[in-house]
Amino acid sequence: MTVADLAPAFTLACAIHIDFFEALEVMADKLAVYPAGCLTLAAPDGELTGYAVSHPYARGRVPKLNHLLGGLPANADIYYIHDIAIDAAARGKGHAEMAVDLLAAHARHAGFREMRLLSVNNSGAFWRRRGFSPVLNEQVDVASYGSDATYMRRFFKPFAPT
């Protein structure tokens, strides 16, 4: 993702995440703080049809909805998937799964052993198929994400260069 992608990504976010609004400034902040964790999906004509936003974060914490990160926590020990959004016309083609795989590979190469996220909008089954499971032994503040939000994690072995 580049700064030029922010406006179309924001438009897509507003169309998909009706109940989870985040200002354009919040998306821009995440891109500025950790550009390597921000991906885009483009149609053959170049139109943005999806995006992913992720970054290192701290275990047991969740970025509040529609708040600036302002930087990464000094104690960042997990890789956090903040959002994956795919336009309705591009769904069902494996794009979200590919985004998760790309983010997992990036996290492993960066030395992380765990990815975490909040599952919302009844997306738990998707995340379970991608190897995530609910975090049952930690309390996190998910109030800004609604009553069905589930804090989930996926473990993996870190990348070992040969």
Where do the domains of the chain lie? 3-155
Q: Which residues are within 8 A (CB) of 38 and not within 5 positions of it... i.e. 6 or more apart?
A: 1, 30, 31, 51, 52, 53, 54
Q: Is residue 51's pLDDT more than 70?
A: yes
Residue with tokens 């959004």: 85
Q: Is residue 112's pLDDT more than 60?
A: yes
Q: Are 34 and 104 in contact (CB under 8 A)?
A: no
Q: Is residue 158's pLDDT more than 60?
A: no
| Of residues 6 and 157, more confidently modeled | 6
Q: Span 3-155: which CATH code?
A: 3.40.630.30
Residue 52's closest CA among 103, 90, 93?
103
Q: What is the DSSP letter of 100?
A: H
Q: Are 81 and 52 in contact (CB under 8 A)?
A: yes
Please compute the mean of the pLDDT values over residues 88-106 and round it to a whole number: 94
Query: Does residue 69 sit in helix, strand or coil?
Result: coil
Residue 57's pLDDT is what? 97
Residue 142's pLDDT is what? 86
Structure tokens given for 110:
């960066």
Q: Are 155 and 114 in contact (CB under 8 A)?
A: yes
- Residues facing residue 69 across a β-bridge: none
Show the DSSP H helices in 66-113 as ranges: 95-109
Structure pTM?
Answer: 0.93
